[in-house]
Amino acid sequence: MSKRSSIKLIPLGGFNEIGKNMMVLEKDEDMIIIDCGVMFPDEDFPGVDYIIPDFSYVKRNVNKLRAIIITHGHEDHIGGIPFLFKEVMAPVYATKLTKGLIELKLNEHQIFEGVQLNEIDEDDMLNIGPFTIEFFRVSHSIPDTIGIAIKTDVGTILHSGDFKFDQSPLDGKITEFSKIGTYGREGVLVLLCDSTNSEEEGFTLSERDVGKTLLEKFTQAEGRVIVTTFSSHIHRIQQIVDMSEKFQKKLAISGKSLLKTIKIACELGYLKIPEDLIIPINKIDEYPLKKITILATGTQGEPLSALYKMAVNEHKRIQIMKSDMVIISASPIPGNEKAIANIINMLIKHGADVYYESIAGVHVSGHAAQEEIKMMINLVRPRYFIPIHGDNMHKVQNGKIAQEVGIPEENIVIAQNGDVIKINSNLCRVSKNIDTRTIYVDGLGFGDIDDIVLRDRKLLSRDGVVLNIIGVDLKKEEIFCEPDLTFKGVTFLENFDSIIKECKNVVTEAVNNCFKNNITTASTIEKYANDRLEKYLIKKIRLKPVVITKILSN
């Protein structure tokens, strides 16, 4: 009989934030990954498109990697796969809709070679190395969401996935309570439990409640109804389709991500749309205002989204008017509240009637509130409890919920990204941390952007830039063309001409000082002039613009 070894659980994302969820499970010489997502940056990361997990540990141990298992098709669970596949590959296992969304994402990144996508459902069982993997259906804000049971000779680890207990889901596919309860009766060593909504009391409302609110708003609407929701929220989109059909409205779609997701969901049978309901966005003027619904991107105030363009009057086809009703059927991702508030204010200024989560029931969460988390724990009755998917305040609150239903405090592990959690039949604790980095996707490239780059971007956005060009003969050690300064993004200054004159004197003096000290290298002179000019501007105008000096030599 072989000796039982411990399991290593290593979160690479989703333990210090809401987003970029990724978990490594390792036993002996075998390793699997659960989810591989992205996180959308806030205003503290100017110019950054996504934040993704640090794949360094996976790359170092690629010979152990056997499979990637995905719980559902949201960006914070699948968005990192194309970036991972640029480094390493492994077979992916996902439910039907999730698989379709992953295929779309890989096609966008033109990743085809070596891809192995395997379709699973909640009744499948996988034997991968020392892991026997089973699945159970859960309710969430996207169809085909699953939780995972990983059975080993050490014990069973249950991963809740993102879940809520919706007793009347739109698709009729209720959480498989009987399966979860069976695992509990058989014995679960560790429960990894979604923490996203752990601060919310009671139960999360059913998706059907949104339908009641949408019915009320569509009844009240005097003109066009413009709705924005997450492109992956298939159930919400279906309700908007149903309302449009009920009120005999044509539905136009504005936003590439929505169009792509709707196409896939229709092809796979997850959306039912009457054949003549949808019209091209350029045909909306051919119908009365009261007969138009517009489904648009822009739930998070994204600058390139359809709703943002409408709000700033830059949309090619749609101008907001007084009879419009705008419904923002989503909750703000932390960090996006200001951007969304700005859009709401602009839409109201244009005369639109705007409804959003905090003033109308136009959105419900896909995550379990406190009472549902208690139900999950009571069904599973695990020995150890690890809160997942959230920042520290969410995880700590989830740990307190676990204590309320009888999990001892010493059996609750509050872990961080990069922690190596060692698990055996009598132990569950953090043994060390592998020191993960923050990885940014910036345009076409990705990596650990230096802090100085982000610092410069913040300075540029806050205080602007000063470009300083000066002609210098380095051999003769003399200035042949006086400094020419250009200010961009710098707040209007009083006595601007005198400040420009002083700046020129500062630069000229800096160059001459270099010559006096036998410094004749262009890069060194540029650096010294930058430093002197920057200090002058801080003292004189209380601003710290990015200063760029360029020497033109003959």
Does a structural domain hold residue 546? Answer: yes
Among 322, 355, 388, which residue terminates a domain? 355
What is the arithmetic mean of pLDDT over 362-376?
Answer: 95
Range of weakest confidence among 251-260, 288-297, 536-545: 536-545
Cα angle value 348/350/355 (rounded, 5°): 30
Residue 121: give its domain's CATH number.
3.60.15.10
Answer with the residue of higher pLDDT: 302 or 348.
Answer: 348
Number of helical (H) and strand (E) elements in the chain, helices listed first: 15, 26
Does residue 26 share a domain with residue 145?
yes
pLDDT at residue 149 is higher than 80:
yes
- Asked if the structure places residue 207 within a domain, the reply is no
Distance set, CA 212 to CA 143, 244, 327 (Å): 20, 14, 14
Q: pLDDT value at position 151?
A: 97
Query: Token digits for 448?
Result: 């650990």
By residue count, the chain amounts to 554
- Of 148-152, 181-185, 446-450, the range with the lowest mean pLDDT is 446-450
Signed CA dihedral, 409, 410, 413, 415: sign only? positive
- Please compute the mean of the pLDDT values over residues 190-214 and round it to a whole number: 95
Location of structure tokens 């978990």? 23
| Residues 435 and 526 both lie in one domain | no
64 and 133 fall within a common domain: yes
Query: For 432-468, b where at least 16 C-beta lie within 10 A, e where not — what string?
Result: eeeebebbbbbeeebeebeeeebeebebbeebbbbeb
Q: Which domain holds residue 321?
A: 217-355
Task: Determine the pLDDT at residue 319.
Answer: 93
Clarify whether residues 435 and 529 are in a common domain: no
Q: What is the pLDDT of residue 42?
A: 61
- Domain stops at, among 447, 481, 508: 447
* 3-state helix/strand/coil string of 165-212: CCCCCCCCCCCCHHHHHHHHHHCCCEEEEECCCCCCCCCCCCHHHHHH
Regarding whether 488 and 397 lie in a shared domain, the answer is no
Q: Give the CATH number for residue 270.
A: 3.40.50.10710
Q: Is residue 1 part of a domain?
A: no
Bridge partners of 384? 190
Same domain, residue pair 253 and 286: yes
Give the model confidence (pLDDT) of 218-228 as tens digits: 999 999 999 99
Q: d(Cα 165, Cα 179) in Å, to the nearest integer?
A: 14
Stretch among 265-274, 336-345, 346-355, 362-371 having the lowest mean pLDDT: 336-345
| First CA to last CA distance, the chain | 82
2, part of any domain: no
Domain count, the chain: 3
How many other β-carbons are positioned within 10 Å of the β-carbon of residue 171? 14
Counting residues of the chain whose pLDDT is more than 90, the rounded percentage is 71
Are 266 and 372 members of one domain? no
Worst-scoring range by mean pLDDT, 178-192, 328-342, 391-405, 443-457? Answer: 443-457
Alpha-helical segments (H) within 247-322: 256-267, 306-311
Is the whole-model pTM more than 0.85? no
Per-residue pLDDT reduced to its tens digit, 219-274? 999 999 999 999 899 999 999 999 999 999 999 999 988 999 999 999 999 999 99
- Round to whole Å and give the CA distance between 21 and 36: 6
Using CB atoms within 10 Å of the CB of residue 477, give its burial: 0 to 12 exposed, 13 to 18 middle, 19+ buried: middle
Whole-number Å distance between alpha carbons of 410 and 426: 12
Question: Got the DSSP string for 365-387?
Answer: -SS--HHHHHHHHHHH--SEEEE
Which of the following is catalytic: 77, 235, 367, 389? Answer: 367
Domain boundary among 424, 447, 470: 447
Look at residue 360 and tell me if it is in a domain. Answer: no
Q: What is the mean pLDDT of residues 378-392?
A: 97
Say whether 367 is catalytic.
yes
Question: What tokens appear for 130 in the block?
Answer: 């020392």
User: Same structural domain for residues 301 and 314?
Assistant: yes
Q: Is residue 39 part of a domain?
A: yes
Residue 211 maps to a domain: no
Contact indicator for 514, 472 with CB cutoff of 8 Å: no
Q: Looking at the DSSP assignment, which residues form a beta bridge with residue 485?
A: 468
- Sheet harboring 117-120: ordered strands across? 117-120, 92-95, 65-69, 30-36, 22-27, 7-13, 419-424, 427-433
Residue 1: its pLDDT value, please? 37
225 with 314, same domain: the answer is: yes
Q: How far apart are CA 545 and CA 461, in angstroms?
A: 9
Any alpha helices (H) in 221-368, and if so which ranges?
Answer: 234-246, 256-267, 306-311, 337-349
With bands split at pLDDT 50, 70 and 90, how would you rate the model's confidence at 48?
low
The DSSP bridge partners found for residue 93 are 69, 118
Is the confidence at residue 516, as pLDDT, over 50?
Answer: yes
Catalytic residue among 54, 166, 194, 419: 194
Q: Which residues are 51's β-sheet partners?
A: 39, 440
The verdict on 151 and 108 lying in the same domain is: yes
**Whether residue 138 sits in one domain with residue 284:** no
Question: In terms of Cα–Cα distance, which of 202, 144, 142, 138 is closest to 174?
Answer: 138
The H or E element containing residue 13 is strand 7-13
Does the residue 136 lie in any domain? yes
**Does the annotation mark 74 as catalytic?**
no
**Is pLDDT above 90 for 176?**
yes
Residues 166 and 221 in one domain: no
Mean pLDDT of 396-419: 97
